[in-house]
Structure 1
Amino acid sequence: MQPIWAPCVSVASVTSSAGLAFAVEAMQAFKFSTWKERRLWSACSCSGVFWAARCFSSKQKHLPARFGSPGQGGDEGNRQQHDSHQTRTSEQVNPESPPPPRSCKPPKDSRPPGWKYKKSPGPAASSREEFRNLREDDFSKLRRRRSQKSSSVQRTQGSEILFGIGPCSIAFSQAKRNFFQLFVKSSSSGLRPVMEEFVQQAKARGASVHYVRREVLDTLCKDEVHQGVCLEASPLGLKSIEETEVPACQDPQQIWLVLEQIQDPMNLGTLLRCAYFLGVDQVVMSRSNSCPLTPVVSKASAGAMEILDVYSTDDIPRFLKAKIEACWEVVGTVSKSEVEGNIPVVDCLDFQWEKPTVLVLGNEASGLSPGTRSLCHKMLTIPPGIALHPGLDSLNVSVATGILLHSILRQKAKQHNAISP
């Protein structure tokens, strides 16, 4: 005899089996729809709007709003995508619904005329634009890295790069340096005569010659004006005035230029050029807090640094005291607004050059130090041509030096012209 609860068990088992089957079918449909959604996203993001539209139009499916034609987007596009997703899911869950007919051509309303030639402003287009910008940035950096890599050259340890026609030409003629390599700008029209002369001089001194691009020269001289030539050579150092025997001169009209803490290489180069042109006998620099003799200084001096013997001292006051004991006159410089103290101030046009003189120039910003100023016998000043503004009452140190040296040394020229018949 069958128990009373047996029908209940059989009914429950049938019900649970049907529910399980329905759940399995629903899970499979969900997985299938998710897989199709991933295919949709991959097709649209990787191949672009054109291929995604072509793929879906061939299968009679509508493209989501975010990949569709212009004007679709926002909440409306999201609702259409959600509705199409539910429609595909219901089609997969309901096995009784007939499969959609396949056709090679999409409906006329889904493909407007000229759709192939219209660009979609969707996210795929913006992604391509961002990728294009990123690609161009990366390629420009790559070109710069390649340029830097190709422009790197092997250099001798401790050497420096002279640049410019004037410094290189005078450096070859003076032969104070050791020369290692000459870099000349390559040209399809041939070398200029001055460059051919550089090549001959470099080969005569055992230096190797390289014909390079302009970018290589720019890198060697750190984007300075090289005029198509760079020369690798040993550096020029300062000679100690205490350790060097300076040749004595019996001429009472001698003038030495003393530079205290000149730090700008352009100013130093201009000072050396003025000193050479106007006929200064010797140039002495303070060793500390001063600009060294660099290729920039040589370029600013137009090569005068290669000719002059520039000396240095660690103690300018001690050097000036030694000159005072040797009956030299120490002359400093001051502007009109800085006139103070018991030291007499003389107009540079009224200065009488009667014995050997040391002209002392100070730092561009602070001028002469108090210790150096106290040792000066006179202070020279340059009279301005107009009433000056309080914020602009002085000259650049190199310009002022040129004026002062010319006003002093012209006296020697006048005496020479008076003596000569």
Structure 2
Amino acid sequence: MQSTLLTVRRFSTTARRLNGPVAPFRSGMDNHGKGAVTFDRNFPVHRQPKAWEKDRESKDSWFRRKHAHHHAREKKLAKQKQGPVPTKSQSLRKTISQLKMDPLVDYLYGTNPVLAALKAQRRDSFGSLFIHNPKESEKLVEILSLAKQLEIPVKSEYTKHDLNLMTNNGVHNGIVLETRPLEVEQLRMLGDASTETYSIVKEQFGARETVSATTIADRYPLALYIDEVSDPHNMGAILRSAYFLGVDFTIISERNCAPLSPVVSKTSSGALEFMPIFSSQKPLRLFEESREQAWTIISSVAPHEAARMPNKQLDAESLKEQLAKGPCMLVVGSEGEGVRKSLLQRSDWVVSLESGRADLDGSVDSLNASVATALLLAKFL
């Protein structure tokens, strides 16, 4: 059988299909945007091998092996020149020492407390007035004017951070006053009272002193006794309400109440500086001897506590009537424990505030101490 040879022409379509795809045409100027292709690239050129190529390493590993320690050595030398870096606590102590802060000094902060302290002048002495970019206001002008009259140095070179340290990060409004703590006198008992005047008996180191004062309004005096309120914010809010509503004076239990700190003054918005405040070391004696002087003592309790003392229970709406009959002292306690039982036993009456909700949940059966105090004081007036 004779085989037939098939020949395919070189430039035929069939030939192109058999040989596969052909690379696209490129001109001498097409070098991926890098310019024309020249013959110089085809000539052999002698090139000095790189150091990492001689060592047969990659560029990254060679540089790490050769120069990684240089940075560590430079950092070590820089630290030696700089000296030991102080810790956060060391930096804080250094800043405080530069400010020369005195632990026996109060740093009142905020516009209203500082202005009130300068107006009342009930503190023994003032140090310096520190200001840092305070907001321009009439109160600021008055503060600076009073500072000038009282010859108080005004220092404006301190930073906001310095004022934060003085006030323990309180909201100071750029104004801090260095001053002695507020002195509170010891009170033994309450004396005679009328609609115009009243007397109190102070006691210091065994020596007694009877002092008379004028009532705020044309009525019998109203006193407030604060027992076991350890929260400074509650203390400040109570004093603010008492001053606004017209309480004649306030007595605090010395052993278990919050100290009259700058925080209390700030929360009271300066009322602490104007309100007559006394302390009592022996409240049981104070209650007993004051009752002998015709003072009516009324203690605030929760509704369920008042139900246990039906013989002493007094309607809150009759408080104004009680004050019209004679001098009264309202006793308030902390939110948790309330007024101590020993003081309740020596009180003439107990009073409580009833909720306006019939479906009151047991977990919310009372008010904040400062709010409850304000509502009860308002019912006297």
The alignment's TM-score, normalised by the length of structure 1, stands at 0.62
Aligned match of 1:362:
333
Q: Residue deviations 1:169-223, cap 9 Å, x none?
A: 1111111221110100047xx9655434423322322222111221111111110
Per the alignment, in what secondary structure is the counterpart of residue 247 of structure 1? strand
Query: Which of 185, 195, 198 is 2:143 aligned to?
Result: 198
Aligned match of 2:284:
317
User: Match of 1:208, as an amino acid?
Assistant: P
The answer as to whether partners of 1:343 and 1:379 remain within 8 angstroms in 2 is no
Superposition map of 1:88-103 within 5 A = none
User: Match of 1:174, as an amino acid?
Assistant: A
Aligned match of 1:246:
211
C-alpha change, 1:343 and 1:374, in structure 2 (3 Å) is farther
The answer as to whether partners of 1:334 and 1:380 remain within 8 angstroms in 2 is yes
Q: Distance in 2 between matches of 1:144 and 1:155?
A: 16
Residue 388, structure 1, aligned to residue 353, structure 2:
no
Superposition map of 1:316-335 within 5 A = 316-335=283-302
Query: Which of 261, 264, 273 is 1:297 aligned to?
Result: 264
Residue 179, structure 1, aligned to residue 137, structure 2:
no
Residue 219, structure 1, aligned to residue 190, structure 2:
no
The answer as to whether partners of 2:95 and 2:162 remain within 8 angstroms in 1 is no
Aligned match of 1:349:
317
Q: Distance in 2 between matches of 1:392 and 1:55?
A: 81
Residue 257, structure 1, aligned to residue 217, structure 2:
no
Q: Distance in 1 between matches of 2:94 and 2:356?
A: 51
Shift of 1:278: 0.6
Aligned match of 2:346:
375
C-alpha change, 1:154 and 1:147, in structure 2 (3 Å) is closer
The answer as to whether partners of 2:101 and 2:166 remain within 8 angstroms in 1 is no
Per the alignment, in what secondary structure is the counterpart of residue 227 of structure 1? coil
Aligned match of 1:408:
380
C-alpha change, 1:181 and 1:369, in structure 2 (3 Å) is same
Q: Distance in 1 between matches of 2:312 and 2:50?
A: 98
The answer as to whether partners of 1:182 and 1:209 remain within 8 angstroms in 2 is yes
The answer as to whether partners of 1:151 and 1:219 remain within 8 angstroms in 2 is no
Q: Distance in 2 between matches of 1:221 and 1:253?
A: 40
Per the alignment, in what secondary structure is the counterpart of residue 235 of structure 1? coil
User: Match of 2:372, as an amino acid?
Assistant: A
Return the structure number with greater helix share.
1
Shift of 1:312: 0.7
Aligned match of 1:233:
179
Higher relative contact order (CA 8 A, sep 6+): 2
Shift of 1:347: 2.9
C-alpha change, 1:281 and 1:213, in structure 2 (3 Å) is same
Q: Distance in 2 between matches of 1:162 and 1:67?
A: 62
The alignment's TM-score, normalised by the length of structure 2, stands at 0.68
Residue 56, structure 1, aligned to residue 56, structure 2:
no
Aligned match of 1:397:
369
Per the alignment, in what secondary structure is the counterpart of residue 309 of structure 2? coil
- How many residue pairs are counted as aligned between the two chains? 293
Shift of 1:140: 11
The answer as to whether partners of 1:179 and 1:202 remain within 8 angstroms in 2 is no
Q: Residue deviations 1:111-158, cap 9 Å, x none?
A: xxxxxxxxx9xxx69x99xx9xxx9xx999679938963883124562
Q: Distance in 2 between matches of 1:376 and 1:142?
A: 53
Query: Which of 247, 269, 272 is 1:280 aligned to?
Result: 247
Q: Distance in 2 between matches of 1:186 and 1:391?
A: 45
Per the alignment, in what secondary structure is the counterpart of residue 360 of structure 1? strand
Q: Residue deviations 1:345-378, cap 9 Å, x none?
A: 2331243322211111123311111110111222
Q: Distance in 2 between matches of 1:146 and 1:222?
A: 12
Coordinate RMSD, CA, aligned: 3.4
Shift of 1:159: 1.5
Shift of 1:68: 7.0
Q: Distance in 1 between matches of 2:132 and 2:334?
A: 38
Q: Distance in 2 between matches of 1:159 and 1:265?
A: 18
The answer as to whether partners of 2:316 and 2:352 remain within 8 angstroms in 1 is yes
Per the alignment, in what secondary structure is the counterpart of residue 198 of structure 1? helix
Q: Distance in 1 between matches of 2:283 and 2:91?
A: 48
The answer as to whether partners of 1:184 and 1:228 remain within 8 angstroms in 2 is yes
Q: Percent identity?
A: 27
Shift of 1:234: 0.9
C-alpha change, 1:147 and 1:261, in structure 2 (3 Å) is closer
Q: Distance in 1 between matches of 2:349 and 2:119?
A: 40
Shift of 1:255: 1.2
C-alpha change, 1:341 and 1:197, in structure 2 (3 Å) is closer
Shift of 1:67: 2.5
Q: Distance in 1 between matches of 2:268 and 2:141?
A: 24
Shift of 1:297: 0.6
User: Match of 2:166, as an amino acid?
Assistant: L
Q: Distance in 2 between matches of 1:219 and 1:334?
A: 40
Q: Distance in 1 between matches of 2:96 and 2:187?
A: 44
The answer as to whether partners of 1:257 and 1:283 remain within 8 angstroms in 2 is yes
Aligned match of 1:94:
none
User: Match of 1:56, as an amino acid?
Assistant: A
The answer as to whether partners of 2:227 and 2:339 remain within 8 angstroms in 1 is yes
Q: Which runs of 5+ in 1 are unaligned?
A: 1-53, 70-119, 410-421
User: Match of 1:375, as an amino acid?
Assistant: R
Return the structure number with greater strand share.
2
